[in-house]
Amino acid sequence: MYDSIEIRVYPAEMEGACSVDKNVIISVKGKQSANNQETNILELVTEGRYYKQDNAYYVTYNESEVTGMNGTITTLKVADGIVTLMRSGSVNSQFVFQQGQRHISYYDTEYGAFTISVFANEVDIKVNDSGGEIRVGYRLEIDNNKTGENDFLMSIREVGRTNDKHNGEHKTTSQ
């Protein structure tokens, strides 16, 4: 369900060099509600990288067998109120979450490829150089058929920091 990426190359002379680059703990809490079916909840805690390049923040991590995407790297780019989720490896995709907007994405897996429409009804970004939170609520459609409602909350905090504002309690309710 969620992907992770941790591949980056930063030549010293690269324009827009990183002003933030740190190891982080990433907590992802996701919920999938398929049409007329049970709600699935996933919680994942993993290590990753958090960096800033130009005016965008990036979060990268490696997916595992737990998410069903072992061998995939997930990167989230956060800029100008838009969250872009990019996956590469055993799953290749790019989803754009822009509140109130529909974006068409290509989803490529080891089982085949197809296009997906992503409509974001909530995009709440609270990140800074220390970390933060990203919340996205969205609907997926495959071939113009609604497949369900989804949301995720990603919390990002620097490794070793336990008592800061980004390490609070998050509660989700199952339905």
Burial of 41 (0-12, 13-18, 19+ CB in 10 A): middle
Determine, yes or no, domain membership for 152: yes
Q: Which domain holds residue 129?
A: 20-158
Over range 144-148, report the average pLDDT: 83
Q: How far is CA 62 from CA 7, 100, 133, in A?
A: 9, 29, 19
Determine, yes or no, domain membership for 4: no
In which band, very low, low, confident or very high, does the pLDDT at 34 lie, cut at 50, 70 and 90?
confident
Determine, yes or no, domain membership for 5: no
Determine, yes or no, domain membership for 14: no
Does residue 81 surpass a pLDDT of 70?
yes
| CATH code of residue 102 | 2.40.128.20
Percent of the chain's residues with pLDDT above 90: 55
Over range 143-159, report the average pLDDT: 91
Determine, yes or no, domain membership for 148: yes
- What phi, psi does 145 have (nearest 5°)? -110, 120
Determine, yes or no, domain membership for 116: yes
pTM here is 0.78
Over range 69-87, report the average pLDDT: 94
> How many Cα atoms are found within 13 Å in the side-chain-facing hemisphere of 171?
1
